[in-house]
C-alpha cells in the first residue's frame, strides 16, 4: 500500500545480512504483547534452482523472568551430575551415527499444508479418497534400525543407565501394574458389598 515499501524491505534485509544484525520488534496485541527477533535469511541457490528463499525468521523472545540459570544452582551446590569420559565418548559416537548430512529445512515439507493441499486436490478432481500424505518430519525408523545405529544407542544407554536398566524398568512397571490390580480388586469388593444394601431404605429409617 506504500510506494517504495519493497525497496525499503530489500535494503533493510541486505543491511541486516551485511552487518550481522537482527531486528527487535513488537508482535501481538496490547493484551498479549510479545517481543520478537527478526533474523534475516540469505537466499541459497544451487544448480537445481532456489534451495532457500530470502526472508525473515521470527523468533519469540523471553521476558526477563522467563529466563532461569540452573547452572548457578549446580555450581554452588556441588552435587551437579557430571558425565564421565566414557559417557561423552558414547554420546559423541551416537551423534555421529544419526547426524543429518547436508541438512536444510527446505528438504522437509509442512505436513499440515500437504494435507490441506491434498484435500483441495481431491475436492477439485471429485475424488472420494484422500491421497496419501508422506509426513517427512516423522523419525526415520528404517535408518534408526540400522545395526550401527542400534549398537550406538544400546552402548549409550548402557553407559548412562547401566547394563540392567531395561530389566529394572520392566520390574518397576510390573510392580506398578500389580499395585493397580490390587487397588482395582479392593474397589470391586467394596462395590459388591455396597450393592447388598438398600441405601435409600436405610436412610429413610435412620440406619445409615
Give the pLDDT confidence score for residue 200 in this predicted structure.
86
Give the pLDDT confidence score for residue 11 in this predicted structure.
95
User: Does some domain include residue 193?
Assistant: no
Extract the C-alpha cell encoding 89.
565418548
Q: What is the pLDDT along the chain (208 residues), one digit of tens a residue?
A: 789 999 999 999 999 999 999 999 999 888 888 999 999 999 988 888 888 889 999 999 998 888 887 777 666 656 667 889 999 999 999 999 988 887 777 778 888 898 999 889 888 988 888 878 888 888 888 888 999 999 999 999 999 888 877 766 776 666 666 667 778 788 888 888 888 888 888 888 888 7
pTM of the model as a whole? 0.48
Cα separation, 157 vs 90, whole angstroms: 9
Residues 98 and 39 in one domain: no
User: Does some domain include residue 183?
Assistant: no
Q: Domain range holding 156?
A: 85-161
Are 17 and 40 within 8 A, CB to CB?
Answer: yes
3-state secondary structure of 149: helix
User: Does some domain include residue 170?
Assistant: no
User: Does some domain include residue 39?
Assistant: yes
Give the pLDDT confidence score for residue 64 in this predicted structure.
86
Report how far Cα 121 is from the mean position of its chain's Cα atoms: 30
Are 83 and 94 within 8 A, CB to CB?
Answer: no
Give the pLDDT confidence score for residue 147 in this predicted structure.
92
Give the pLDDT confidence score for residue 22 in this predicted structure.
96
Give the pLDDT confidence score for residue 92 in this predicted structure.
95
User: Does some domain include residue 192?
Assistant: no
Amino acid at each position: 500500500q506504500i510506494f517504495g515499501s519493497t525497496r525499503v524491505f530489500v535494503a533493510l534485509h541486505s543491511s541486516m545480512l551485511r552487518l550481522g544484525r537482527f531486528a527487535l520488534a513488537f508482535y501481538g496485541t496490547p493484551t498479549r504483547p510479545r517481543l520478537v527477533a527478526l533474523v534475516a535469511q540469505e537466499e541459497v541457490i544451487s544448480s537445481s534452482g532456489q534451495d532457500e528463499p530470502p526472508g525473515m525468521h521470527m523468533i519469540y523472545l523471553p521476558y526477563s523472568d522467563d529466563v532461569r540459570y540452573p547452572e548457578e544452582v549446580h555450581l554452588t551446590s556441588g552435587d551437579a551430575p557430571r558425565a564421565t569420559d566414557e559417557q561423552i565418548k558414547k554420546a559423541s559416537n551416537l551423534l555421529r551415527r544419526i547426524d543429518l548430512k547436508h541438512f536444510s529445512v527446505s528438504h522437509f515439507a509442512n505436513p499440515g499444508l500437504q494435507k490441506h493441499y491434498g484435500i483441495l486436490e481431491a475436492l477439485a478432481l471429485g475424488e472420494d479418497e484422500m491421497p496419501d500424505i508422506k509426513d517427512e518430519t516423522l523419525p526415520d525408523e528404517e535408518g534408526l534400525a540400522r545395526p550401527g545405529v542400534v549398537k550406538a544407542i544400546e552402548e549409550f544407554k548402557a553407559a548412562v543407565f547401566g547394563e540392567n536398566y531395561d530389566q529394572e524398568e520392566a520390574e518397576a512397571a510390573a510392580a506398578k501394574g500389580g499395585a493397580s490390580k490390587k487397588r482395582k480388586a479392593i474397589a470391586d469388593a467394596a462395590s459388591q458389598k455396597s450393592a447388598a444394601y438398600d441405601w435409600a431404605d436405610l436412610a429413610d429409617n435412620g440406619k445409615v
